A and B are shown apart, each in its own frame.
Chain A
C-alpha cells in the first residue's frame, strides 16, 4: 500500500497493468468451439448447423460460417460431433470490428 502510494505520487499514475499475471481460473471458463477441418464433412457440418440453438453456424457453398458473437458456448456442437469439434479455450474475444468475429471454417473435400 505504501509502495503503491509512493509510486503513484512519483509517476502520476495509480492504475496497474492488466493482466498482472495469468488467471488460474481461466481454464474452467466455458469457451467457444474450435473446429477440425479434416473431420468436417458437409454431412457433419449440416448436423452441427441443426444442433446450434443460437444460429451461430451457417453453411454456404465452400465453408462453415461461424459467428463467434452469436455463439453461447453451450457445447451442443461438441456433443453432436466430438471428433470434429473441441473447445478452443479462448474467452478474451472482444472485437472492434463486427466482421472480425465471423469465421469461415473450410470443409473437407468429399468425393
Chain B
C-alpha cells in the first residue's frame, strides 16, 4: 500500500509500466492542460512507461488536481477505493497543496484532508517537465531535489530579464 512497496513492484512486476488515472477535484483546468501535454511528442510520456487510463480499476497512480471541493468527496473516496493496491496518490498543483483556496464550507482546501498523499508536485500550474519529474519521483526513478534547496540567494544583486 505504501509508495516504497509500489516502487519495488513497478520495477519487478509491471516491467516499468504504470497506469495513471487523473482526477479533477475542482481545479481551473490549467493543470489538466499541462497533464494533457504530457502525451504530446515533445514530452512523450509513453517512452517512460507511463500510460493514462480512464478506469480507476486499471490505475496504479491517482493524479489529483484541484482544491478538493466537498461536493466531490464521495466520488474521490470511491475512486480511491476502486483502485487495486499497491497505489500511489500524487497531489498536483498549488490548489491541491493548500495554496489557493482556504478550507471553507465548499472546499477542503487540500487533498491531504481526504486522501493519503505520497508525492506533492507544487506549481501553478506545474509544467509538463515538473510533472514528469514528479512521476519519476513517485516511482523512485528520479531523486527529489527540493529537500536540499534553501531558496536563498546570497550573491550580489544582478539585473535579470524581469527587472527594469
List B residues 14-55 near A (Cβ within 8 Å): 15-17, 47-49
The size of the chain B interface, using a CB distance under 8 A, is: 48
The count of A-to-B residue pairs whose CB atoms sit within 8 angstroms is: 153
When C-beta atoms are compared, the residue in chain A nearest to B148 turns out to be A100
A79 nearest CB neighbor, chain B only: B162
Contact B123 A93 (CB under 8 A): yes
Spell out B's residues near A (CB within 8 Å). Answer: 3, 15-17, 47-49, 94, 97-100, 102, 112, 117-124, 126-127, 129-130, 132-134, 136-138, 141-142, 144-147, 149-154, 157, 160, 162-163
The majority secondary structure among interface residues of chain A is loop
A109 interface residue, CB < 8 Å from B?
no
Decide if A59 is an interface residue (CB 8 Å cutoff). Answer: no
A71 vs B100: C-alpha distance in the bound complex, in angstroms? 9
Q: Which residue of A lies closest to B3 (CB)?
A: A96
- Asked whether B147 lies within 8 Å of A100 as measured between CB atoms, the reply is yes
Enumerate chain A interface residues (CB-CB to B < 8 A): 12-16, 18-19, 23, 26, 29, 32-39, 54-56, 66-75, 78, 82-83, 86-88, 90-98, 100-101, 103, 105-106
Question: Given A15, A37, A97, A101, which contacts B16 in the complex, CB threshold below 8 Å?
Answer: A15
Are A73 and B124 closer than 8 Å at their CB atoms?
yes
* 7 chain-A/chain-B pairs, Cβ below 8 angstroms: A12-B15, A54-B99, A67-B98, A70-B94, A70-B122, A72-B94, A103-B149
Alpha-carbon separation in the docked complex, A18 to B50 (Å):
12
* B163 pairs with A36, CB closer than 8 A: no
User: Which residues of chain B have C-beta atoms less than 8 A from A90's C-beta?
Assistant: 145-146, 149
Give the complex CA separation of A91 and B146 in angstroms. 9
**Contact (Cβ within 8 A) A91 B127:** yes
Asked if residues B119 and A36 are in contact (CB atoms below 8 Å), the reply is no
